[in-house]
A and B are shown apart, each in its own frame.
Chain A
């Protein structure tokens, strides 16, 4: 077939997609550009003085910070702008990747799953047109976000910044996002559904993130082998390397071409990975809304549990390097003595665990909130219609989703923490005891419950606003992962319940807060249950 035939009416599809997605795109663009520019503008206030810069440089050079924010490659003289680039690139790249995976899945597989693409394709629309429309939408989105990043930095005008570096940051973040968008388009051809594509995309991203972390800590040169690590290789405000950009472009292009090839070859609604057959009869366990939901989510829960377990394990694999002061300063052992040194080392690792706890909490909240909000999307898709036609009460259905969401949060959080403990125990000369991790679990779980209960409340009373719970989770991640580095005020951190939790295991569990949080959870759940029982269901 002629190429023009394959691409026929791509332009029309782009317009339709924009019409469908504009609200989502505008929110992403405004939120990202606003957040980024605001932080840049504020940065001079936080790291304006030379002494503040020297202090943060020491922190950023420590292996714990390297594993979270990437290798510290800036050379003296250190400037505010260099600190900004070191702190922000990996974090912003994560956000860009998540945005691209979400938009790419929605623009390709989701529409195919709904059967819409069949009707579209029955018209005089080229076979590749839907894929190309998604490609152009993603390219435009990343370009706009990148441009706004660059413009925002120009506006913020940090000390030590220069025009080339500013635009390189914008271009670099746009390129890494775009690359993952293209990768998702490719993965969408392999999986046979939207959820399968999402899972595959996050799995690939997770592997790259962990690989980037361990190479950064052990040997930053090898980070070149990890595509996600290319974002650290830009040498911003120093040598200003444009070569990694080229590599990202090339990688994305290869993914796009491969996606096109596979798309031409496969059937609509099918993936290249085979779909397995189901069982002939229902298992005796499958008998009500709770077990039905369990049956539908168990595979994804397993993936999340294993994923967080591995994430925790890979973080813990650098505990030994991080908790070894003697390595960077051989004199310290004589100065402190062996036992004092061991204690100091433990403090460093515990400090690191306290930061990692946030990552584990957020990762555990994702499947939990997903399940909670599924109560609305299942309703909208009509899955619950027939369930309600049976002798099943609203309360039972609501309790099943809410309950499973909480169990998921607990299981995934536990898995991540256990991963840290097990690897730490195996690799450290002076391992951290399980009791320490147990305290982490106890400290954060009540705050997580409040966030899930809030999602449940939205589901019960304002299902249209349910996506606000994602905003809250995302804000929690932002305020605690990045908060202390950008000097976020206490009240801003306490906009989520996670901000009230003591820095366990550095400090003791604050039981008063825990009881409060549990009481709020119960209250929210009561109100949520009443709301869900009273409101109209989607027709």
Chain B
């Protein structure tokens, strides 16, 4: 399979604020037509990374390119082809939402189209109200409508739905999927893991200024454990001793337990369970939340290497 040239490429990116190293080592790429999920706890460096990509912060080391151009040197040319929605949207208090949407479009050399009107309708925004009277969700809608109305090649969303109601969140997701179908690329930073799971092709996990994992959800699942809920006829005495088995917990009923199994030990464990004659069996693939917790609840050894 021939891989096209990446649209976004970050190599060994670093950012220092005085003595504090906000980004230690960021490495990832986004390819055309891809929705990339960017997740990590608060303060891990997601927004800092995005601000470096926007040329608003100057990197202290490493490189970052979008469309093959350096993000600091060519920010205007790059911005011409991208759209951005921040998590906290601030607007000019004495301008109306409609005015601001048009203004943002003009700032990219575009204009108000029928698509803009359709978006305003769809998100249910009253464009005549002054921005000072908008709630957080409505301010986000203004930025989202301007972004979706822009004919860009690359969309950056930094926790864009934190103030939206479920209905508008659904609208947001539909539009992101539509962009994906048009072959556009999206960088989506979010805490709503179900959203990331549903929409993203690949995911990058950032922790304390470092990318700790990138890959597809399937690849990541491979690295983690499957949860099994099982009831058998024979007692499961030896189960806990098998390699790769974790957290065996007794449930209601005879010989009914739940456990987690490392992906690479699944076959021998299943063989043992079958031997004990199955009554019922449910397996749950790890959710993104499980993955997330695994990286964040931080195995003590991982923290120790950081000197914490």
- Give the docked Cα–Cα distance between A114 and B106 (Å): 21
Residue B236 interfacial (CB < 8 Å): no
Q: List residues of A (8-32) whose CB comes within 8 Å of B's CBs.
A: 8-9, 12, 16, 19-20
Which residue from chain B places its CB closest to the CB of A539 in the assembled complex?
A: B133
* Distance (whole angstroms) from the CB of B64 to the closest CB of chain A: 15
Instruction: Give the size category of A's interface with B.
Output: 20 to 34
Q: Determine whether A536 belongs to the interface, using a CB cutoff of 8 Å to chain B.
A: no
Contact of A267 among B56, B82, B143 (CB under 8 A): B56
Contact (Cβ within 8 A) A122 B56: yes
A118 and B56 contact, Cβ closer than 8 Å, known pairs A123-B108, A124-B107, A125-B107:
yes
Taken together as a complex, chains A and B put the C-alpha atoms of A274 and B18 apart, in Å, by: 8
- Which A residues lie within 8 Å of B90 (CB)? 114-116, 119
- Is B228 an interface residue, CB under 8 A from the partner? no
- Residue pair B55, A127 in contact (C-beta under 8 Å): yes
> Is B112 interfacial (CB 8 A cutoff)?
no
Chain A residues lying within 8 Å of B245, measured Cβ to Cβ, are none
Q: Does B276 contact A (CB under 8 A)?
A: no
Q: Is the CB–CB distance between A127 and B92 below 8 Å?
A: no
In the complex the two chains form, is B80's CB within 8 Å of A121's CB?
no
Contact B143 A119 (CB under 8 A): yes
Known: A125-B76, A125-B79, A126-B76. A16 touches B88 (CB 8 A): no
Tell me the complex Cα distance, A119–B107, Å. 11
Contacting residues, chain B, for A76 (C-beta < 8 A): none
Q: How far is the CA of A539 from the CA of B108 in the complex (A)?
A: 32
Instruction: Count B interface residues, CB 8 Å.
Output: 35
What B residues does A300 contact at CB under 8 A? none
Decide yes or no whether B163 CB sits under 8 A from chain A: no
- B75 contacts A119, C-beta separation under 8 Å: no
**Contact bitstring B99-120, A, C-beta under 8 A = 1, else 0:** 0000110111100000000000
Known A-B contacts A5-B76, A125-B107; the reply to A19 vs B95 at CB < 8 A is yes
In the assembled complex, B74 has its CB within 8 A of some CB on chain A: yes
What distance in Å separates the Cβ of B8 from its nearest Cβ neighbour in chain A?
Answer: 15
Chain B binding site: helix, strand, loop or mixed by DSSP? loop
Whether A465 is near chain B, meaning CB under 8 Å from some CB there, is no
A270 within 8 A of B: yes
Q: Enumerate chain B residues within 8 angstroms of A12, measured Cβ to Cβ.
A: 103, 106-107
Taking a contact as CB atoms under 8 Å apart, the answer to whether A270 and B94 are in contact is: no
Residues of B within 8 A of A9 (CB): 106-107
**Chief secondary structure at chain A's binding surface:** loop
Identify the closest chain A residue to B75 (Cβ): A127
Whether A268 sits at the interface, judged by CB under 8 Å, is yes
Taking the closest CB of chain A, its distance from the CB of B87, in whole angstroms, is 10
A16 CB to nearest B CB, Å: 6
Q: How far is the CA of A23 from the CA of B145 in the complex (A)?
A: 29
Chain B 103-159 residues near chain A, CB threshold 8 A:
103-104, 106-109, 132-133, 143, 156
Nearest-neighbor residue (CB-CB) of B48 within chain A: A267
Verify if B86 is at the interface (C-beta below 8 Å from A). yes
Kindly provide the distance from the CB of B21 to the nearest chain A CB, expressed in whole angstroms: 14
- The distance from the CB of B122 to the nearest CB of chain A, in whole angstroms, is 21
Chain B contacts for A124, CB-based, 8 A = 76-77, 79-80, 107-109
Determine whether A389 belongs to the interface, using a CB cutoff of 8 Å to chain B.
no
Please name all residues of chain B whose beta carbon is closer than 8 Å to the beta carbon of A302 when the two chains form the complex: none
Alpha-carbon gap, A12 to B102, bound state (A): 12
Instruction: Tell me whether A267 and B58 are in contact in the complex, defined as CB-CB below 8 angstroms, given that A20-B94, A119-B90 are known contacts.
Output: yes
Q: Which residues of A contact B91 (CB under 8 A)?
A: 116, 119
Contact of A38 with B by CB under 8 A? no
Taking a contact as CB atoms closer than 8 A, the residue among A116, A118, A275, A539 that contacts B92 in the complex is A116
Query: Can you list 18 A-B contacts (CB < 8 A)?
Result: A1-B73, A1-B74, A5-B74, A8-B76, A12-B103, A12-B106, A19-B95, A20-B92, A20-B94, A118-B51, A119-B90, A120-B107, A124-B80, A265-B58, A267-B57, A268-B51, A270-B17, A539-B133
Query: Lowest 3 A-B CB distances belong to which pairs?
Result: A123-B107, A122-B84, A124-B80
Q: Give chain B's interface residues, CB within 8 Å of chain A.
A: 17-18, 51, 54-58, 73-77, 79-80, 82, 84, 86, 88-92, 94-95, 103-104, 106-109, 132-133, 143, 156
Given A122-B84, A268-B57; 15 other pairs, CB 8 A cutoff: A9-B106, A20-B94, A114-B90, A116-B92, A118-B56, A119-B143, A122-B79, A123-B79, A124-B107, A124-B109, A125-B79, A127-B75, A267-B57, A275-B18, A380-B132
Interface set of A (CB-CB < 8 Å, partner B): 1, 5-6, 8-9, 12, 16, 19-20, 114-116, 118-127, 265, 267-268, 270, 274-275, 380, 539
